[in-house]
Structure formats: C-alpha cells, structure tokens
Structure 1
Amino acid sequence: MPRKSILNSTRRAITSVFDHLDYKRLESVYCYEGGDEFWRKKREPCRRLGTKVAEVLVRKLSHSGRSLYVGAGVTELPALLAEVIELQRQVAPYNLRRSEVTVLNRACRSLPVKFRAQDASLASGLFDHLWIVSVLNDPERFPHLAPLSYGNADPVTFDPHQFEQQRRVVRSIVDRVMPKLSLPGLVTTSTEEVIWIADWCHRKNIPYRVEREQFPTALVGDPVCFIKIGGLETNNRKPKGTKV
C-alpha cells in the first residue's frame, strides 16, 4: 500500500535545496522590481505547496520511470526531488532562462537533478510523465493569448492577428513535447492549460481523462491537476472551452 506522505529525508532534501537557492539572483528572473519582498512572501508557500503536489504525484508514478519537465523552475523543485529520492526515477527538467538554470543547478549539485537551458523538445527518448505548468499561458510570452485563458481579455484592445500567431506557437510547443509521452502516460499541468492538452488528444484521437482534484500553487497561482493519457481506463471527456 503506497504511503500517504513522503519520507522525512525527502522533506529535508527539499528544505535544504530551498535554503541554498540564490534568491538575490532569482529576483530579476521573477520580478521587474520588488524581488526581495516577492521571495520573502513566496519562498515558504512555494516549498510547502510544492511538497503537497509532490506527495500526490509520487503516488501516481511508478518506480524507475522517466519524467520530462517543460519550463521547470523553483516551483518544480519539490516534485523533482521527490521523484528521484522516493521513486529513483530519471527526471529531465528544461528551462530556457539560463540565469535561473544556473541558480537551480548550484542548489541541486549534490543531487541527481540537472536542469538544462534548452528547448524541452530536444529531450531524447520517451517519458511516462510530462510536467508542463504555466508554460502555455505565460502572460509575458503570450500577452494576447493569456488573457483569453484567464477570461479577462479586453474586447477593445484584443488583437486577433497577434492571438492567432501566439496560438500557433502554443500548439507547436504541445505538438513537439506531447509525442515524447509514452502511452498510457500522465500529464501534470495547470487547469488553465488543460484545453491545450485536450486539443492535442482530440486531434490525435487519443483518449484522456482529466482528474477532478486540483492543487494550489504559490508563484503563478494556477491550480495544478493531472491528466491520464491513453489506456483503456481513460475516456474522451472534453472540458468546457476545449475549442482552441
């Protein structure tokens, strides 16, 4: 019977990594200004809420599998560490922000977790778990698409041409990383990004099931959920608003 909680040694490892992060260097990565105050408020909730997600995740994954993390940063640390310590899994975290990757790798240098400052589509092989959270609806990268995802688009300033361009980019990201998921597999994503995963599944005629339970996050604030992809136990349940 699987444990309901992660090991104390895993908790200590997570705490140690958070203690060794260079928050001064992370200020400019996450904030234009006020980075010091931001991390004073967010550091502990990020660790605590991330650990809760990690506890749920390790109960869903098998030992010795592989996980691909797209756009992995500070928020993903508890899940990454829980996977390698609890389940002896291989993890491949990718992040295009080189300055953050440097900070993360320094904090994780004594652990089998190495962040790559590359496009996640360059990852080799197949993975039974794909993590893609707050990537496809990033308001900085997709300023004309994200407002629609969050339901606060301004009809006066909305630019359909820019939206269409950004929608093509988002779909291309999904089209490059989803084929790396072995089936049946598990996707961890935000509730706002479910529609993009569902859209891919429908285009490929692959069954999926979005699990109902959601988990809060600390930095962006988008709740996280899990999607089972492929397998006889899933079904083509299409969430409201999946037409993208």
Structure 2
Amino acid sequence: MTTQYDKAKLFTDLHSPGKPLVLANVWDAASARLVAAAGAPAIASASASVCWTLGARDGGGLDRDRALAQTALITGAVDLPVTADLESGFAETAAGVGETVTALLATGAVGVNLEDGLDGGARELRPVAEAAERIAAARAAADAVGVALFVNARTDVFLRGVGEPESRLDAALARGLAYVEAGANGVFVPGTADPAVIAALAEALPVPLNVSGSATTPNVAELAALGVGRISLGPGLAEVAYAAVRRAAHEAYAEGTFGSLADGLTYPELNGLFRS
C-alpha cells in the first residue's frame, strides 16, 4: 500500500506541461474504481458530481462534512493519488479553509481544488487578496502536517464571464500569479477553449495550467502542444451517466421497452468492482 506521502509526491510529479495529466472526475467509490480500471494514474472528484449524487446543488448546496465523507469513500476505494474538488473551501474565513484542508488530509487525499468564485452562481469573484489568503491557509495547513498537498487554485474569470471579454486573460493571469505567490501548485482556468488564450496562460504561469476537457475543447494532443499540464473532465462523466439513466427510464415509462438497458454494464461487472 502506497503511503499518503508517496502519493502526494507522485501526484505532483504527474503534472508536466506539455504532457498533461488527464483526470476523468468521479463522485463515488464505483466511479472511482471504473476510472482507475481504465488506466487513470490518479483520481479526482468533481464538486458538481458529488453534490448531485448526495442530492444537493453545486455551488454552496453541500456541507463540508458530507463532502469530506464522500472523499473518504473515494480514497478508500482506490490505491491511487486522490484530489478533491472542495469548491471554495466550505468556510467563511481563511482559517476555516485551513481547517477544511486539515480534515481533507485525514481522508488520505493529496490534492485539493479551491475556487475564487462566490457561491450562488453570481458573476462575482472574491477579491484577489482574500482568495490568495485562503490559498495560503490551505498551504499552511498541509505544511503543518507534512503532506505535500497539491493545491490547485481555480479562477472563474472566464467561466463566470467576469469583466469585458478582452480583459479576461489579463485578469485570470493576475489572479493566477497571486495564487501561486500564496502557495498554489497549479492554476485551473475553466471556461475557455480558445487555443491562443490557453497558450498564453500556459506560457505566463510558472506552474502547471489546468483546463477543462469537453466535447467542444481541443483534444489531449492539442492541449499538450499548447503547454497544458492538467486536463479535467469535471462533471462530464456524471452528466453522461445521468443522461443514460434518464434515457432508460424514459424508454421504460413512455415506450414500455427496455432496449437502453443493453448499453449498461452487467451486474457481475459492477459487483466485481468490490470485494465485500
């Protein structure tokens, strides 16, 4: 069994600009086992996916205890490095973010995503200094227990459409650089698929750039050529899974047929993911 300290080093080493780490984000033990079996070198949760499976909305709808309990289920399901998406840290203050990170480390996780957007979906971000202070608190909490936690600082400038379009690249860079100064190991900039923007971010940031992967973004090889260090699928897998549930249920109730079930994994395949 690999130790948490070994996993932390491995996870950091997996981030290599130009040879990106691809993370197909999960939400429970079964999805973690399936992604691991597909050849993933590390496992990441997605906050939206975790929220939905627990019956909560993404963006402030879930409490810290339930989010961390779900993280513990994921870390317990795989012997791979696990990084958790903890939204903005489930805390009002920077000190509270530090407490969240301390609790996260107790689950065995070795990475965390912390975002600078405010809950509720408004086009508003925390002031840069405040967001940086929260990153610094996460870094300090990890350092206090001696785990080289990979702190991935997410800025939602593009995702939330903050400011005028022509100003967003500079704003995202300014925020990213401030977060790196505060102790972030990587910077996540979701919401843009523009190769020129991605290349500019990758070149200017002194840490690995994380971008989103979807049906409308460049593929892995193209993002690698742009200098990206990490690609996250976010809630994409959960969206596909729940679309399959809706499709099969609709067929059963509206058509009285069950053809969609032929596309699913079998009971033995799913049951075989677990030993007890």
Same-fold call, TM cutoff 0.5: no
Q: Which has the higher contact order (CA 8 A, sep 6+)?
A: 2
Range class of TM-score, shorter chain: 0.3 to 0.5
TM-score by length of 1: 0.34
TM value normalised by structure 2: 0.31
Q: Which of structures 1 and 2 has the bigger CA Rg? A: 2
